[in-house]
Amino acid sequence: MSGQIDMRIVNLHKRFVRNEVLRGVTLEFAKGQITVVMGASGCGKSVMLKHLVGLLRPDKGEVWSGSTRIDNLPERELGIVRRQIGFLFQQSALFDSLTVRENIAFPLCEHGMTVQRLINDKVMHVLELVGLTETVDQMPSELSGGQRKRVALARAVVLEPRVVLYDEPTTGLDPIRSEIINQLILKLSDALGITSIVVTHDLVSAFRIADRMVLLHEGRVALEGSPEEFRETNDPVAGRFLRGEITAEDLARIHKSGDDVPARHN
């Protein structure tokens, strides 16, 4: 495992109206490592993830990609950084009117690739990685939920990013299809040396794939460490989360916040 830091956030703060979602989060993400970020709804997981790719800008704090600070970059320069970061959205976010081939080719064309043979080669290569070459000319509506996730993952890695961000990759999938996604995350990390940052509520998946785990609670880092350290922790907040227990304060906060990001920011 490399000790090189691929991405980091420093003292990150973010507020939506009166709802303070992030309250000084500092984290480092090591190159080639799978970091799983967990926490209850409203704790700031997805908000943090969107800062890493520049979809949100912090109210205070810093976001770094390698040696480049990205939170204050203009959009044109941020686009160069984003090319190195793949993003698997929670709902896959495939274009319904495009075939699988066209969906995966879209980021290649957006970044200036025009030679159709090369585009097709790259599309088939990533579809082979996720085991779905036979779907290349199908429409998203013809695919199962698990297949859509895998196509979205193929699209996320077609530009050969060094970092992939996963927002709830197993949400809505049954245990068998969830394990397929887990295996793909492990495969891509191993075969391509990708740095993976995974936001999830799925504890089975988290312990299955994580090199390192982070628990966010009320906008702050409550605990970070290896899966073994999480299993053995005496931290009361982490213990309640891992046992699935909920307090009256948790219920009040979830009712107030609704989700990690207010609907108008989704």
pLDDT band per the 50, 70, 90 thresholds, residue 192: confident
Residue 40's CATH number: 3.40.50.300
In a domain, 150, yes or no: no
In a domain, 99, yes or no: no
In a domain, 16, yes or no: yes
In a domain, 89, yes or no: no
In a domain, 129, yes or no: no
Question: What pLDDT is stored for residue 172 in this prediction?
Answer: 82
What's the number of domains the chain is made of? 1
Question: What pLDDT is stored for residue 261 in this prediction?
Answer: 42
In a domain, 138, yes or no: no
Tell me how far apart the alpha carbons of residues 172 and 90 are, in angstroms, rounded to a whole number.
Answer: 9
Q: Name the average pLDDT for the chain.
A: 88
pLDDT band per the 50, 70, 90 thresholds, residue 89: confident
Residue 200 domain boundaries? 5-84+161-265
* Three-state secondary structure call for residue 118: helix
In a domain, 105, yes or no: no
In a domain, 66, yes or no: yes
pTM of the model: 0.85
